[in-house]
Amino acid sequence: MLNVVVLSGRLTQDPELKTTANGISVCSFSIAVERRFKSGEERQSDFINIVTWRSSAEFVSKYFKKGQMIAIRGSIQTRRYQDKDGNNRTAFEVVADDVQFADFARRDNDSAPVAVPAATPASFSNAGVGDFTSIDDVDEDLPF
């Protein structure tokens, strides 16, 4: 059986970080994902609820804001509950296991967009002071 979802879209609101009674971080947000469309058709979007846990939850709440592009990989999960009127309801959401930046930055007005490097909570927590090299001579040609 396979339950894998890969999405990229824009956050429709700032992510909301909460903590469970057991002290586990959980972050919920929704993204707008454009549907494919043909020329002349009106663009349409789907609004998809996302939830992420632990260090990924803290990462999203710290580095993402409304309107930013985000890429997620996870799985679909359903929850059944009763609303305030006693009606049975089912909620569908994506539980994100991997979250990455998906925004683009431009070098200048004439050049093509350049993707912002992907980052995950692990890449931030594994970075240490010893991982960086000091550049003493700033006048020297850089290799890029």
Q: Does residue 102 sit within a domain?
A: yes
* Comparison of pLDDT for 131 and 12, the residue scoring more: 12
The yes-or-no verdict on residue 19 having pLDDT over 80 is yes
Q: Does residue 134 sit within a domain?
A: no
Domain containing 85: what range? 5-35+43-127
Residues 16-39: what's their mean pLDDT? 94
| pTM tops 0.85 | no
Q: Does residue 132 sit within a domain?
A: no
How buried is 63 (Cβ within 10 angstroms: 0-12 exposed, 13-18 middle, 19+ buried)? middle
Average pLDDT in the chain: 82
The yes-or-no verdict on residue 128 having pLDDT over 50 is no
pLDDT at position 117 is 45
The yes-or-no verdict on residue 137 having pLDDT over 50 is yes
Q: Does residue 133 sit within a domain?
A: no
